[in-house]
Amino acid sequence: MDQTENKSNEFLEKQPLGKLMRAYSIPCVISLLVAALYNIVDQLFIANADYLGSFGNAANTVVFPLTVVALALAVMIGDGCCAFVSIKLGQGHQKEAGSSVWSAILLCVLVSLALTALYLIFADPILTLFGGRVNDETFRLSQEYFFWITLGLPFYMFGQAMNPIIRSDGSPRFAMAATLLGALTNIILDPVFIFVTRWGMMGAAVATVLGQMLTAGLSAWYLARRMKAVSLRREDMGLHLSLQKKYLALGICSFLSQISLVAAMAAINNMISKYSALDPVFGQAEYAQIPMAVVGIVMKFFQIVISIAVGLSAGCIPVVGYNVGAGRRDRARSLLTMLMLTEAAVGLIATLIVELFPKALIGLFGAANESVYYTEFAVRAFRIYLCMMTLATVNKGAFIFLQSLGKALASTLLSMVREIVFGVGFALLLPRLFALNGVLYSMPVSDVLTFLITLIVLVKTYRELGDGGVKQPS
């Protein structure tokens, strides 16, 4: 289909931006929040099971970044394809849009199977790398949880990768519903498998996998039966390497934003293990798992906030991509203003919550069943680690907005600076100066420095959108 043909998503160029942002971003936020709940719900029930407690929480913290590796690969494929499809629909290139979706489907299946095999073969060394050997009980529970979670990776990755693609087809509500139904399944089955059958970490993992299977099944049904703006024709099926290069470049920011969390958590978990052993309290065997369990909980709350930030900006990808493709940079500029203000508001509200109510938050995760050291360290962790969330949400929103404009290089470089240079660097450096507190300082320091750089890029981008300087991706 060439540019002379009708554009099936032309309403993205005409409807009010506020209405479009609500229509696309709210379902996306809910989808990502629900996806985040998979792990958080597990941790809530694990924390309140008397036979698991902080040992189970620590095991969950060890496995969590390994699921993020799978998520990183899935969103690189899905978000990249979503941005590429939206731009191509805006340009009227229907055939390329359909071919890229086929490519993303096949690539996701192949990558997920390869990662599953890798995890099953090298499970123990991988768990050791992420701090699983903080004590024997934590390692045993990590092994149990990791095995069952790994078996569900192909379903998890397929559902996460197809979610943004379904949004780009003009069905954000279906994408949200597919994820929501999977999460509800997990929430219902978790207490049954943990408290009734007492399957422990295996029960938590199986409940999660069954929910992921439902989301994947609904996504597959949509692709086969409900596609609207994009036509999936059998003759277009294939990996299409030339298209892969283009849409994966647009998804690399999403990949880095997730995979860098893995690198940071590997550094953090190892620093926690090292400096907990030197601490007068946490150096004792019965308390050794507490810092790792607590930091994992704090990062789960941060994941909720970042899910909102990412959802707001990722929901705008089809709108921004289509308008840039159609030459309406003025609308992209207005949407940038709306998005940054909303991101800042979300971050500010979240910061107030963690600063004012840290004891209530940690109380959700079994604090009543733990020692006083558990609560004391958790309060400190919430207040220090998350004190700059306002800047973190703005940074994350800016990265993804640049991605939706097709500015893959700028988006990628900013993500690398924040997540790898600052995120990992300070996680390794500051504990040497401030011991366990150094782990907590690494997050706010990274966010402040990143914001200073991001602000410069945002001002430049704003001017480009005003004078038409942003180029359309080919």
When pLDDT is averaged across residues 330-347 and rounded to a whole number, the result is 91
| Helix locations, 122-199, DSSP H | 123-129, 136-151, 153-168, 172-191
* pLDDT band, very low/low/confident/very high, at 381 (cuts 50, 70, 90): very high
When pLDDT is averaged across residues 64-69 and rounded to a whole number, the result is 88
**Secondary structure string (H, E, C) spanning 92-141:** CCHHHHHHHHHHHHHHHHHHHHHHHHHHHHCHHHHHHHCCHHHCHHHHHH
Torsion of CA 182, 346, 438, 425, to 10 degrees: 80
> Over the stretch 87-100, which tens digit does the pLDDT of each residue have?
787 777 778 888 88
Distance CA 204, CA 470 (A): 47
What is the separation of C-alpha 320 from the centre of its chain, rounded to a whole number of angstroms? 20
Checking if the pLDDT of 338 tops 50, the result is: yes
Planar angle of CA 128, 131, 133, nearest 5 degrees? 65
Q: Return the pLDDT at 470.
A: 52
Shortest CA distance to 413 belongs to which of 257, 264, 305, 262?
Answer: 257
The residue whose two tokens read 């043909």 is 5
When pLDDT is averaged across residues 321-349 and rounded to a whole number, the result is 87
Q: Return the pLDDT at 51.
A: 83
The total number of structural domains that make up the chain? 1
**Do residues 207 and 58 touch, judged by C-beta distance below 8 A?**
no
Question: Does residue 472 sit within a domain?
Answer: no
The residue whose two tokens read 């409807």 is 15
Q: Can you state the angle between helices 408-416 and 389-404, rounded to 10 degrees?
A: 150
Question: Does residue 47 sit within a domain?
Answer: yes
Q: Return the pLDDT at 5.
A: 35
> Over the stretch 421-439, which tens digit does the pLDDT of each residue have?
998 899 999 999 998 899 9
Distance CA 230, CA 8 (A): 9
Question: Does residue 24 sit within a domain?
Answer: no
Distance CA 434, CA 414 (A): 27
> Over the stretch 237-284, which tens digit does the pLDDT of each residue have?
888 888 888 889 888 777 876 777 788 778 888 888 888 888 888 888
Question: Does residue 2 sit within a domain?
Answer: no
Range of the domain at 302: 31-467
- Single-letter residue type at 339: L
Q: Can you state the angle between helices 290-315 and 436-467, rounded to 10 degrees?
A: 10
Question: Does residue 412 sit within a domain?
Answer: yes
Q: Return the pLDDT at 403.
A: 77
Q: Return the pLDDT at 367.
A: 63
Question: Does residue 109 sit within a domain?
Answer: yes
Checking if the pLDDT of 80 tops 80, the result is: yes
Question: Which is higher by pLDDT, 253 or 68?
Answer: 68
The rounded mean pLDDT for the chain is 86
Q: Return the pLDDT at 310.
A: 86
Planar angle of CA 325, 326, 328, nearest 5 degrees? 105
**Do residues 180 and 31 touch, judged by C-beta distance below 8 A?**
yes
Question: Does residue 137 sit within a domain?
Answer: yes
- Residue 416 makes CB contacts below 8 A (sequence gap 6+) with 256, 260
Question: Does residue 321 sit within a domain?
Answer: yes
Checking if the pLDDT of 122 tops 50, the result is: yes
- What share of the chain in percent tops pLDDT 70? 95
Checking if the pLDDT of 53 tops 90, the result is: no
Question: Which is higher by pLDDT, 284 or 104?
Answer: 104
